[in-house]
């Protein structure tokens, strides 16, 4: 495909080398949105939808583009953050020492490179003797930071986005491996870090219990551990058999030992569980021997591990090595290869999503891969079935997939498995290539691959053109509308959506809110339906009525506008403050020129693709009609910032430019927002304040030209009184 003019393809399909600055910018925005979405699924919903390898590939592509175009790096982009921001519901705790992640090594040579890099960085040549490095299992759970003062546990915090985590103290205290009081002589302040996990047997017993009680089962021990720790009721956490391995530390008022190995032994003396497989090695070959040994014993371990972590043993060397963006230079995670198995592709099923996307799913002859029974695999889109990847390159050697084929499944980590190979020798002579449907299997409308107007390239996704007449799209939209992070209507789940839709009771969101009034007039009352009674009907109406007033960000998210997830909905709510202002701005931005359009694109974190999706949504007359009907019933509340009342920058638009020395861009943004300010990426006459650090260039000049107040970073701290 690379013989095509790169500009005529979607940015996702262009190789990094071919990206122009414009397409690179669009691609960075797209990747930021996609990675943020996967981070949220993984960290907040414990429900990842792609494999670790695919995720790593997205991050790698992002990094490659950033390396090629350093000027285009987004301040809010993936390299600026680790994981997803904390979920609401728990108090937040700012980590005094950030909780970072680890770089990955995928083979023995990567490990040799790592040790070589460390030696070069330290100018530690072989004549200076052995460079000791520890090796220990990488536990597949979730990390936790425990702060002790005077030997007593003061709080426990999850990693969150690395800078701020969730306060899960009450829950952590229910875990037996987490001491409330430490033994022996302990420095005044210590933060112990490690992994919360669930043992295999406990996981199976828990799932059996959940299933017997009619509840949802967890896909794997990691999700079970995460879901159990992040319960709002600590009694629930207490009933879940969680465990904890200590392997690192954060803030320490004093470091009693000078090696990793020594410190970990001390953690055991203080009362923590440490991993018994940890070894200190003096050569790369020893490290690799430990790795392969652990890999072999993996199946016998009672907990999931996904690799081996190597750490430079001497703490003074760790200190000298320091960090690069999100990971330490002195450590690396050597990942285990993904697990694979052969099975039969029984069928290809097409699912239709909220936006009409026809998503093919492989229906497999169930097979156990790495201890998990797999019966579905992701097929992404029709090119993927044909054996052509998103980048236009052949995948599986360009072999297409046909129902009946014998296929190799790969499961990496805990996510949806992939098909990585086809055994053509086993294909029967009469097997026909799979014809991807050109009509929606649900409503029979034409399903098309839209052409990108600018590039002339076909979208990878085929979409049903039925819009609201397509029951699949309509019900998926309704399911999204009532879901937990949108309207969150209790007792109105997928089952109710399907049943009410089928019986013409609720076809569009507004009808949810007219259900009670119509029920009063109706002869076939809800309470008389099968599975319903007077109490459950009353409860449902109450739950619906309780949502007639709703936070603006939830309202925006509930609309299901493409590319507008929870994070973007929050940004929009904060930027516009009220529904009226937001809606008026979206309509005014419709021509994609002018002030309203510029303002929308200037919101830090809202990229071009999101902006386009928003104005397209508002330009569609049937969306406006539905909105009008919905707003007859529901009132979005103005976004307000309680913490910010009385703040000198509340409601102001602030731009940070130049290099900041006391905080990262993210911290600056979070801080400004905490004090009620809006942060924008560019200076205009709407800007109230510019905070300029050394090296500020065109933005500073523009601020001076426009007579906008300019202050230094110190001035900012003085102004908000956060010194
Ligand atoms: S050390 C500064 N050791 O892996 C680095 N991490 O990808 C501190 N993990 O967030 C981490 N087992 O949740 C370390 N033995 C181990 C680990 C481990 C699991 C997790 C941890 C961390 C992630 C990094």
691 bridge partner residues:
656, 711
Of 33-42, 372-381, 522-531, 554-563, the poorest mean pLDDT is in 33-42
Q: Which CATH superfamily groups domain 643-720?
A: BRCT domain (3.40.50.10190)
Secondary structure element (H or E) that encloses residue 137, with its range:
strand 133-139
Helix (H, G, I), strand (E, B) or coil at 612: helix
* Confidence (pLDDT) at 675: 80
Q: Find the mean pLDDT for residues 701-720.
A: 91
Environment class of residue 707 by beta-carbon count within 10 Å: exposed (0-12), middle (13-18) or buried (19+)? exposed
689 bridge partner residues:
654, 709
* pLDDT one-digit tens code per residue, 134-144: 999 999 999 99
Instruction: Report how far residue 265's alpha carbon sits from residue 348's, in angstroms, rounded to the nearest whole number.
Output: 53
Residue 411 CA to ligand 1 centre (angstroms): 21
Instruction: Report how far residue 147's alpha carbon sits from residue 191's, in angstroms, rounded to the nearest whole number.
Output: 4
- The counts of H helices and E strands in the chain are 25, 26
Residue 243 CA to ligand 1 centre (angstroms): 15
Q: Does pLDDT of 2 surpass 60? A: no
* 339-426 CATH choice from 1.10.3720.10, 2.40.50.140, 3.10.290.10, 3.40.50.720: 2.40.50.140
Do 134 and 260 contact (CB within 8 A), yes or no? yes
Name the residue with the closest Cα to ligand 1, atom 16.
138
Instruction: Report how far residue 671's alpha carbon sits from residue 179's, in angstroms, rounded to the nearest whole number.
Output: 34
Q: Does pLDDT of 3 surpass 60? A: no
Do 410 and 370 contact (CB within 8 A), yes or no? no
Tokens describing residue 250: 């954060």
Q: Which residue has the tokens 């998503």?
A: 359
Do 174 and 237 contact (CB within 8 A), yes or no? yes
pLDDT, mean over the chain: 88
Q: Does pLDDT of 438 surpass 90? A: yes
pLDDT-based confidence at 480, cuts 50/70/90? Answer: very high
The CATH topology of domain 6-81 is Helix Hairpins (1.10.287)
Angle, CA 625 vertex, CA 621 and CA 631 arms, to 5°: 140
Tokens describing residue 210: 């959940």
The CATH topology of domain 104-335 is D-amino Acid Aminotransferase; Chain A, domain 1 (3.30.470)
Q: Report CA Rg, the chain.
A: 27
Q: Which CATH superfamily groups domain 437-640?
A: 5' to 3' exonuclease, C-terminal subdomain (1.10.150.20)
Name the residue with the closest Cα to ligand 1, atom 22.
101
Please give the share of the chain, as a percent, with pLDDT higher than 70.
Answer: 93
* Confidence (pLDDT) at 211: 82
pLDDT-based confidence at 53, cuts 50/70/90? Answer: low
Q: Does pLDDT of 46 surpass 80? A: no
* pLDDT one-digit tens code per residue, 411-422: 865 567 889 899
* pLDDT one-digit tens code per residue, 606-642: 888 899 999 999 998 889 999 999 999 999 999 865 3
Name the residue with the closest Cα to ligand 1, atom 17.
138
Residue 484 CA to ligand 1 centre (angstroms): 30
Catalytic residues: 138
Q: What share of the chain is helix, strand, coil (3-state, %, to 5)?
A: 40, 20, 40
Q: Find the mean pLDDT for residues 217-234.
A: 87
Q: Find the mean pLDDT for residues 106-115.
A: 95
pLDDT-based confidence at 114, cuts 50/70/90? Answer: very high
> 301, 329, 333, 334: which to mutate for ligand 1, most atoms within 8 A of CB?
333
* Confidence (pLDDT) at 645: 55
Q: Does pLDDT of 316 surpass 60? A: yes
Do 537 and 525 contact (CB within 8 A), yes or no? yes
Secondary structure element (H or E) that encloses residue 164, with its range:
strand 164-166
Q: Does pLDDT of 47 surpass 90? A: no
Please give the share of the chain, as a percent, with pLDDT higher than 90.
Answer: 60
Residue 152 CA to ligand 1 centre (angstroms): 24
Name the residue with the closest Cα to ligand 1, atom 10.
101
Name the residue with the closest Cα to ligand 1, atom 24.
101
Helix (H, G, I), strand (E, B) or coil at 419: strand
25 bridge partner residues:
none
Q: Does pLDDT of 481 surpass 80? A: yes
Q: What are phi and psi of 446, to 5 degrees?
A: -60, 140
Q: Find the mean pLDDT for residues 319-330.
A: 86
* Confidence (pLDDT) at 613: 92
* Confidence (pLDDT) at 80: 60
Do 572 and 556 contact (CB within 8 A), yes or no? yes
Residue 261 CA to ligand 1 centre (angstroms): 15
Q: pTM to 2 decimals?
A: 0.54
* Confidence (pLDDT) at 7: 52
* pLDDT one-digit tens code per residue, 646-687: 678 888 899 999 888 877 777 788 778 778 888 898 999 889
Contacts for 544 with CB less than 8 Å, ≥ 6 apart: 489, 492, 512, 513, 515, 516
Q: What secondary structure letter does DSSP report for 40?
A: I
Q: Does pLDDT of 4 surpass 60? A: no
Going from N- to C-terminal start, the domains of the chain cover 6-81, 104-335, 339-426, 437-640, 643-720
Q: What are phi and psi of 238, to 5 degrees?
A: -60, -30
* pLDDT one-digit tens code per residue, 421-430: 999 999 999 9
| Cβ < 6 A, ligand 1 pocket | 100-102, 136, 138-139, 143, 159, 195, 247-248, 309, 328, 331, 333
Q: Does pLDDT of 57 surpass 90? A: no
Of 86-90, 335-339, 372-376, 592-596, the poorest mean pLDDT is in 86-90
* Confidence (pLDDT) at 643: 43
Instruction: Report how far residue 313's alpha carbon sits from residue 258's, in angstroms, rounded to the nearest whole number.
Output: 9
DSSP string, 448-497: E-PBPTTT-PBPSS-EES-GGG-HHHHHHHHHHHHSTTTT--TT--HHHH
């Amino acid at each position: 495909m690379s013989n095509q003019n790169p500009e005529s393809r979607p940015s996702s399909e262009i190789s990094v080398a071919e990206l122009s600055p414009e397409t690179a910018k669009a691609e960075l925005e797209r990747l930021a949105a996609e990675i943020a979405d996967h981070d949220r699924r993984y960290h907040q919903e414990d429900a990842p939808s792609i494999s670790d390898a695919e995720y790593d590939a997205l991050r790698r592509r992002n990094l490659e583009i950033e390396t090629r175009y350093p000027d285009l790096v987004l301040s809010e982009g993936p390299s600026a953050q680790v994981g997803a921001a904390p979920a609401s519901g728990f108090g937040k705790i700012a980590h005094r020492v950030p909780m970072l992640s680890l770089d990955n090594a995928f083979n023995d040579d990567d490990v040799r490179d790592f040790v070589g890099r460390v030696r070069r960085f330290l100018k530690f040549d072989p004549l200076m003797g052995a460079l000791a490095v520890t090796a220990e299992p990488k536990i597949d759970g979730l990390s936790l930071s425990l702060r002790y003062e005077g030997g007593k546990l003061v709080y426990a915090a999850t990693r969150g986005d690395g800078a701020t985590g969730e306060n899960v103290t009450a829950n952590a205290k229910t875990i037996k491996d987490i001491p409330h009081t430490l033994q022996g002589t302990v420095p005044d302040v210590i933060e112990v870090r490690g992994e919360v996990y669930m043992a295999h047997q406990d996981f199976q017993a828990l799932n059996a219990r959940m299933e017997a009680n009619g509840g949802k089962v967890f896909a794997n021990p990691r999700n079970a551990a995460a879901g159990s720790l992040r319960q709002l009721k600590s009694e629930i956490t207490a009933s879940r058999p969680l465990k904890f391995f200590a392997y690192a530390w954060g803030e320490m008022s004093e470091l009693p030992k000078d090696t990793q190995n020594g410190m970990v032994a001390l953690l055991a003396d203080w009362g923590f569980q440490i991993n018994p497989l940890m070894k200190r090695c003096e050569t790369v070959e020893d490290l690799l021997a430990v790795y392969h040994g652990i890999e072999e014993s993996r199946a016998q371990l009672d907990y999931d591990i996904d690799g081996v972590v190597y750490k430079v043993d001497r703490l003074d060397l760790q200190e000298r090595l320091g960090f690069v963006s999100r990971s330490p230079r002195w450590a690396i995670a050597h990942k285990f290869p993904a697990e694979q198995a052969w099975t039969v592709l029984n069928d290809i099923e097409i699912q239709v999503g909220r936006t009409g996307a026809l998503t093919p799913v492989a229906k497999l002859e169930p097979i156990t891969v790495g201890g998990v029974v797999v019966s579905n695999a992701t097929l992404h889109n029709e090119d993927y079935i044909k054996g052509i990847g998103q980048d236009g390159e052949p995948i599986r050697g360009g072999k297409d997939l046909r129902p009946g084929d014998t296929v190799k499944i790969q499961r990496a980590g805990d996510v949806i498995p992939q098909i990585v190979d086809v055994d053509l020798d086993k294909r029967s002579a009469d097997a026909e290539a799979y014809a991807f449907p050109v009509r929606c299997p649900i409503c029979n409308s034409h399903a098309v691959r839209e052409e990108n107007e600018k590039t002339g390239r076909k979208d990878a996704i085929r979409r049903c053109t039925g819009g609201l007449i397509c029951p699949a799209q309509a019900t998926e939209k309704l399911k999204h509308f009532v879901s937990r992070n949108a309207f969150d209507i209790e007792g109105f789940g997928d089952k109710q959506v399907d049943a009410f839709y089928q019986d013409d009771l609720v076809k569009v969101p507004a009808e949810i809110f007219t259900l009670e009034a119509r029920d009063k007039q109706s002869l076939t009352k809800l309470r008389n339906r099968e599975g319903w009674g007077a109490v459950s009907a009353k409860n449902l109406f109450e739950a619906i009525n309780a949502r007639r007033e709703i936070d603006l960000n939830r309202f925006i998210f509930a609309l299901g506008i493409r590319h507008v997830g929870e994070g973007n909905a929050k940004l929009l709510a904060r930027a516009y403050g009220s529904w009226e202002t937001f809606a008026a701005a979206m309509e005014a931005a419709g021509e994609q020129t002018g002030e309203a359009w510029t303002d929308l694109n200037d919101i830090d974190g809202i990229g071009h693709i999101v902006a386009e999706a928003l104005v397209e949504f508002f330009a569609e007359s049937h969306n406006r009609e539905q909105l009008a009907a919905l707003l007859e019933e529901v009132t979005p509340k103005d976004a307000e910032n309680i913490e910010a009342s009385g703040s000198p920058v509340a409601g102001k638009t602030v731009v940070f430019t130049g290099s900041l020395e006391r905080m990262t861009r993210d911290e600056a943004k979070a801080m400004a927002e905490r004090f009620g300010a809006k942060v924008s990426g560019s200076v205009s006459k709407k800007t109230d304040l510019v905070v300029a650090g050394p090296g500020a260039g065109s933005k500073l000049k523009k601020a001076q030209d426009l007579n906008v107040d300019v202050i230094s970073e110190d001035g900012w701290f003085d102004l908000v009184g956060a010194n």
